[in-house]
Chains A and B, each alone.
Chain A
Amino acid sequence: MIVKSLEISPRELLDQTGWELKPQGACKGDVCIPLPEDIYTHQGQVKVELLARRLNMPLVRAGENNLWALGPQGGGKALATAYAPDFLLPDLVNNRDFQLSELRGQKVLLVAWASW
């Protein structure tokens, strides 16, 4: 995820990365990684550098800009769980936002393609 400040809201983290902060730690599907208590600022924001270290996520800065990308967890597999990560993307046929979880109860073939 793109980060312009090293303190972000838990909601933003969840929407952008799928990691949900719960009392037991950072969770995705059935995986939870414990976090230190000082992961939050007094304002309840998440300290990105600390989170990145704990989750083994690269935090890469673009030159000297206040612009970073927080990459995915390294050192494991692309899928840490078999639960399909949810996502929200625009549907250009029905002209609305589509969320994968809407299709719970149906089999889904998800196909990534590109114009290039």
Chain B
Amino acid sequence: MWQQLREELHPQGLEIVTVALDTGGVAAARPFIEAANSTHPSLLDQAHQLDELFGIVNVPSGVWINEEGQIVRPPETAYPRRPSFLDREIPADTPPELAARMRLPKQIRIEAEKYIAALRDWVSKGAASRYALSPDEVIERSRPRPLEEAQAAAHFELGQYLYREDRVEEAIIQFREAHRLQPANWTYKRQAWSLNDPTQGPNSVYEGDWASDVIKIGAENYYEKLDM
């Protein structure tokens, strides 16, 4: 997904590092990495360390880091181009309820052009780019982490650990608690739902599912509007 942009911007001093947040490990992430024919570092974060380190609550999220190792933009929605799910055809004979679920992704707001234009600006101008934020702005714009959300992170980590140990029932208890404490964290929800059912459809294990939860907030709010 990022290879083309990497080829364009690597000669100008940018490296792209992709990180798969996948409890499912190599088996889950490798097919996508191979299909992408990437030459940039393509990492696997099986334990979701980055969620906590940077405050990531949905994917894809991009973080900009300058030559000195300083973050100049905290996590925000990062698409390199218009994703194919916006243009997916829904066959005319699809049952109405299913068709309604299939239309949801098409209503998600994606601001790929704006994001990539800003990225190009930063790569060419560096600190002088108006998109490069000061350290204080970076901290200020990073997500607030109230105590409940710190607790949610701990429960999610326990859930993943237990899941990897094949203690699925115990893992579900921890995932449910993480969802309760931080309902706006799509990473916690989608990861847990997908381990139960790859389609993330209606289920009896968790309180919600992808389509129901997106309808609740409105598909246009699935990603926050870019502030750039």
Contact = CB atoms under 8 A, between A and B. Distances in A.
B115 to A, nearest CB: 10
Nearest to A70: B154
Interface string B67-94: 1111110110010000000000000000
A38 B221 CA distance: 48
Nearest to B70: A82
Contacts of A80: 139
Given A71-B157, A87-B50, A107-B64, A63 B41 contact: no
Contacts, number: 234
A100 B122 contact: no
B69 A114 contact: no
Contacts of B44: 89-90, 92
Interface in A69-90: 69-85, 87, 89-90
B214 interface: no
Q: How large is the interface on A (under 10, 10 to 19, 20 to 34, 35 or more residues)?
A: 35 or more
Contact of A107 (B32, B123, B152): B123
10 contacts: A56-B147, A72-B153, A75-B146, A78-B142, A81-B139, A93-B42, A106-B14, A107-B14, A109-B2, A110-B63
Contacts of B200: 116
Given A72-B52, A108-B64, A110-B19, A93 B158 contact: no
Contacts of A67: 158, 161
A18 interface: yes
Contacts of A114: 20-22, 59, 187, 190-191
Given A69-B161, A87-B50, A116 B41 contact: no
Interface stretch (B23-31, B103-111, B201-209): B23-31
Interface of B: 1-2, 13-22, 24, 26, 28-33, 38-45, 49-56, 59-72, 74-75, 78, 119, 122-123, 126, 135-136, 138-140, 142-155, 157-158, 161-162, 170, 173-174, 187, 190-191, 193-194, 198, 200
Contacts of B62: 109-112
A57 B157 CA distance: 14
A105 B67 contact: yes
A111 B15 contact: no
Interface centre among B54, B69, B119, B153 (most CB of A within 10 A): B69
A77 B144 contact: yes
